[in-house]
Structure 1
Amino acid sequence: MLRVVVLGASAGGGVPQWNCGCAVCQEARSERPELRRTQASIAFSADGDHWFLINASPDLRQQLIATPQLHPKVGMLRHTPIAGVILTNGEVDAVAGLLSMRESSPFTIYAHPKVLAILRTNSIFNVLNEKYVRREPITVDKAFEPDLPDGSRSGIDILPFAVPGKGAWYLEGHVHPGGDDGAGDTLGLRIKDKASGKYFYFLAACANVTDDLKSQLAGASLIFFDGTVWRDDEMIAAGLGNKTGQAMGHIAMSGDTGAIAALAGLDIGQKMFLHVNNSNPALLRNSPEREIAERAGWQIPPDGTEIAL
């Protein structure tokens, strides 16, 4: 059985964001604590004992404390159920939490060579001693089975694939340490339990839903999909930023070419938005935007949500 836990469902900064006074963040600080969310990451397992993370958010330590499935085994001085971390991009949102995993427990980082190059050229990630923490390159459109810490097979098949997106913000205007050619900056993942055949998709960032992507996602039991903004100019209109969703590499939820419309009619079982920005009014349960999303079959899960396939 494939089990998935939503560790965090928010975009960068979380909800509430530390320096934000928007309506959502104000409500999350005061009378609506259920709005609070940490930054996007999930954990999944095929056996309930060994878990893999997709991305390591800056909130990872808090997420691990809040998730009993990821606690050390009782009676052991040093232990973690985490066998590996799969990175879908090199943004701060996806990699900063790795620094909280520096205490010499064995696990493997799986990432595209372009993302591994970012880690390699930033010396702060050397705190992850490669004697214990292996770094394994993954290839677009080539499935792999991650190992368990003892070297045995996990029984999980992971297929990375390229999706429309952008490289890390902090590299804009700089030479990419992994080179500027080819895909790899933004990946989607299909996670499949080899024993049961059950699978789900994870896309924390996506700038556009292509016909190929529609075909790939059609009929899936579960998808986690980029829900950063409700409308493309949302942050500009709210006075919270000067970039559109597209400029940041994210598709809007709404609109004729937004995620809700683009992914309608594909016979997808459960549709969950994650990486939802604090500016997004769909976070508010009684908002018209939330009603539209839920009427179309979408959920915005709270942290800690567990799904079994």
Structure 2
Amino acid sequence: MLRIVVLGAAAGGGVPQWNCGCAVCQAARTGRAGLQSTQASIAISADGDHWFLINASPDLRQQLVATPRLHPKPGRLRHSPIAGVILTNSEVDAVAGLLSMREGSPFTIYAHPRVLAILKANSIFNVLSETNVRRHPIAIDAAFEPSLPDGSPSGIEIVPFAVPGKGAWYLEGKAHPAGGDGAGDTLGLRIGDKASGRHLYFLAACAKVTPELKQRLAGASLVFFDGTVWRDDELIAAGLGAKTGQAMGHIAMSGDNGAIAALADLGIDRKVFLHINNSNPALLHDSAERKAAERAGWEIPGDGMELTL
């Protein structure tokens, strides 16, 4: 059985964002139940004892404190059930939390060589000594099984695959440390439990649903999917920014080409939006947008939500 914990469901900045006075952030500050959320990450386990993080949110320390399953074992002075971190991109949202794991416990970082090249080029990540923290390259469409700390198999099979997206925004206009054309900058993951054969998909960033992606996701038991914005021009219309969702590498939830329409009628058992920006009105429980998403069979999760597969 695959166990999943949603550590955080929000996009960059979380909810409320520190410098934002939008309707959602104001509601979150005034105690509206269930609105406060940390930045997107999930934890997965096949045995309930050893866990792997999918991305390392800047809010990771807060998330670990709030998640008893990820606490050290009682009586152990130094211990963590976290065996590894699988990175799907190199955005700040996905990698900054690694710096909160610098105190010497062993684990493995699994990432595409383009992402590993960024970590290597930035000396601040040297606080993660490779004596304790191995960096394991993963390849597009090549299945791998992350290992437990003693080298034994985890019982989880992961297949990374390329999805339409963008490289990290802080590298715009700059040479990428790995060079090349960007293949591998944005990954989706097919995560399977080897014992049961069941699997889920994780896509925290996706700029477009292609026919190939539809074919891949059809019939899935569970899909976590990019829910950054409700409409493509959301930030512009709200006066919060100058970029569209597409310009940031994210598909909108709504619209003829949005995620809700694109992933309808694919026989997916359970669909959960993740990486939801503070500007997105679907976060508000009584909004028309939230009701439309739920009518279409989508869930808006909260931090700490647990699922099994």
Normalized against structure 1, the TM-score is what? 0.99
The match for 1:42 is 42
Check conservation: 2:58, 2:93, Cα contact below 8 A: yes
Check conservation: 2:228, 2:245, Cα contact below 8 A: yes
SS where residue 90 of structure 2 aligns? Answer: coil
Whether 1:111 aligns to 2:111 is yes
The separation in 2 between residues aligned to 1:205 and 1:179, in whole angstroms, is 21
1:106 maps to a residue whose letter is P
SS where residue 34 of structure 1 aligns? Answer: coil
Which runs of at least 4 in structure 1 moved beyond 6 Å after TM superposition?
Answer: none
2:271 maps to a residue whose letter is K
What per-residue deviation string (whole Å, max 9, x for no partner) do you get for residues 75-125 of structure 1?
Answer: 100000000000000000000000000011010000000000000000000
The separation in 2 between residues aligned to 1:178 and 1:61, in whole angstroms, is 29
The match for 1:208 is 208
The separation in 1 between residues aligned to 2:260 and 2:167, in whole angstroms, is 24
The match for 2:224 is 224
The match for 2:122 is 122
Whether 1:173 aligns to 2:169 is no
Check conservation: 1:9, 1:276, Cα contact below 8 A: yes
Whether 1:259 aligns to 2:259 is yes
Check conservation: 2:167, 2:182, Cα contact below 8 A: no
CA RMSD of aligned residues (A): 0.6
SS where residue 136 of structure 1 aligns? Answer: strand
Structure 1 runs not aligned, ≥5 long: none
1:199 maps to a residue whose letter is H
The match for 1:81 is 81
SS where residue 294 of structure 2 aligns? Answer: helix
The match for 2:288 is 288
TM-fit CA distance, 1:246: 0.2
1:77 maps to a residue whose letter is L
Aligned residue pair count: 309
TM-fit CA distance, 1:33: 4.0
* Percent identity of equivalent pairs: 79
SS where residue 20 of structure 1 aligns? Answer: coil
SS where residue 34 of structure 2 aligns? Answer: helix
Check conservation: 2:223, 2:268, Cα contact below 8 A: yes
The match for 1:90 is 90
2:276 maps to a residue whose letter is V
1:62 maps to a residue whose letter is Q
The match for 1:134 is 134
More deviation in 218-227 or 181-190? Answer: 181-190
The separation in 2 between residues aligned to 1:233 and 1:2, in whole angstroms, is 37
Check conservation: 1:10, 1:38, Cα contact below 8 A: yes
The match for 1:152 is 152
The match for 2:308 is 308
What per-residue deviation string (whole Å, max 9, x for no partner) do you get for residues 239-271 of structure 1?
Answer: 000000000000000000000000000110110
Check conservation: 1:88, 1:188, Cα contact below 8 A: yes
Check conservation: 2:52, 2:83, Cα contact below 8 A: yes
Check conservation: 1:27, 1:33, Cα contact below 8 A: no
The separation in 1 between residues aligned to 2:166 and 2:138, in whole angstroms, is 18
2:157 maps to a residue whose letter is D
The match for 1:269 is 269
Check conservation: 2:54, 2:87, Cα contact below 8 A: yes
The separation in 1 between residues aligned to 2:288 and 2:246, in whole angstroms, is 23
The match for 2:16 is 16
TM-fit CA distance, 1:182: 4.7
Normalized against structure 2, the TM-score is what? 0.99
1:105 maps to a residue whose letter is S
TM-fit CA distance, 1:183: 1.0
TM-fit CA distance, 1:31: 3.6
What per-residue deviation string (whole Å, max 9, x for no partner) do you get for residues 132-158 of structure 1?
Answer: 000000000000011100011111100
SS where residue 250 of structure 1 aligns? Answer: coil
SS where residue 35 of structure 1 aligns? Answer: coil
Whether 1:99 aligns to 2:103 is no
2:83 maps to a residue whose letter is A
SS where residue 214 of structure 2 aligns? Answer: helix
The separation in 2 between residues aligned to 1:155 and 1:229, in whole angstroms, is 35
1:21 maps to a residue whose letter is G
The separation in 1 between residues aligned to 2:155 and 2:30, in whole angstroms, is 44
Check conservation: 2:220, 2:267, Cα contact below 8 A: yes
Check conservation: 2:83, 2:108, Cα contact below 8 A: yes
Task: Write out aligned runs for 1:24-63 (5 A).
Answer: 24-63=24-63
SS where residue 197 of structure 2 aligns? Answer: coil
TM-fit CA distance, 1:180: 2.9
